[in-house]
Amino acid sequence: MLRLEKRPQPSRAWIWATPLLAVALTMIAGGVLFALLGKDPLAAIRMIFWDPLFSPQYASYSRPQLLVKAAPLILIAVGLAIGFRANIWNIGAEGQYIIGALFAASVALIFFPSGPADVRIFGRVLFSYDVAPARWWLFPAMILAGALGGLLWGLIPAILKTRFNTNEILVSLLLVYVAEKLLAAAAVSWLRNPTGAGFPGSRNLSQFAEAANHELIANTGMHWGVVAAFIAVIFGYVLLQRHMLGFHVRLAGQAPRAARFAGVAPARLVLFCLGISGLLAGLAGMFEVAGPARMISIDFNTGYGFTAIIVAFLGRLHPVGIVLAGLLMALTYIGGELAQFRLGLPSAAIQVFQGMLLFFLLALDMLSNYRIRLAWKEAAP
């Protein structure tokens, strides 16, 4: 018989080994899934993990995309990890990502015109205004607006939790659907392109140099969002490892009663953790709409906020681990798109493949806290 025996202390070896084992099991289970779909499993796995980096045919395009895809995942995951360390569960980063993009795009579109312009909602002109051409300060203003939008959206579940003891998991998750409705409304009303022949979606932000998140180094994928992601990683590391506030975060997660005796204010910690995670998610939305996405559209949100949860746990809630996990998940995005195009894999299969990674990681986490013992069953007298 197999039985579980609790370890006196969590095993540090298993804590860092389980992500590697989870990746290996995901490849095996994914291969079985692809075989059931009638595809060559080895070809699919190779196309997801190998070809984007090392194939002469695809690497020149795929390698720069690695940073483009990883940046929003890392930004969001760092913010989530800070809250998760304190047992404060923000599951609605996708909504904060959307609101940050909406705030940033709204600021840009207000200052785009160089002459008279109208503010419309559902086809009706609310008011007209006349502005000068956009200036150097527009992109910094978009960054501030995106951060503010995500911060405000993240503070909603924080305030409700501290004031009315609501569950931040449910509130933050339900706010994602509210944000998606606001996104759809913006794409067909106040942010809709007036010269777009009635199609939903805003104007293309890349047409305006002051509002575009261009590549800093050609053909590398390096843009300001990547820079912000690495700044967030440094900030997260210093906060969690070298700052008293980070000690309070870790203490609240490991020993809530001890944290109260140590003077940690639970309400302030909730506001901080949900606020900082919302701020970073809003920044991710801002850099995405000003860069790779280039516009607000109904399908702007691509699930980065939910995938970042996998990244945070795969990186063991550690900023450096999150960088590696973000790059790995970005690779599955790029390789998955390549497999869809070349092998005809359905997009749902790639999403299941990514979900397997979190499933195996959470299942194997048991080994960090428990030993598996083989016990012989005694024969009945």
Concatenated DSSP letters of 218-242:
TTTTB-HHHHHHHHHHHHHHHHHHH
d(CA 108, CA 288): 14
Among 13-17, 37-41, 111-115, 137-141, the minimum mean pLDDT is found in 111-115
The closest alpha carbon to 359, from 94, 33, 10, 6, belongs to 33
Q: What is the mean pLDDT of residues 279-306?
A: 93
Q: What is the mean pLDDT of the chain?
A: 89
Give the chain's domains with CATH numbers.
40-344 (1.10.3470)
Among 110-119, 149-158, 306-315, the minimum mean pLDDT is found in 110-119
pLDDT-based confidence at residue 47 (cuts at 50, 70, 90): very high
- DSSP state at residue 129: E
Q: What is the pLDDT of residue 214?
A: 83
pLDDT-based confidence at residue 106 (cuts at 50, 70, 90): very high
Among 58-62, 174-178, 206-210, 298-302, the minimum mean pLDDT is found in 206-210
Is this model's pTM higher than 0.95 or not? no
d(CA 260, CA 281): 29
Q: What is the pLDDT of residue 238?
A: 96
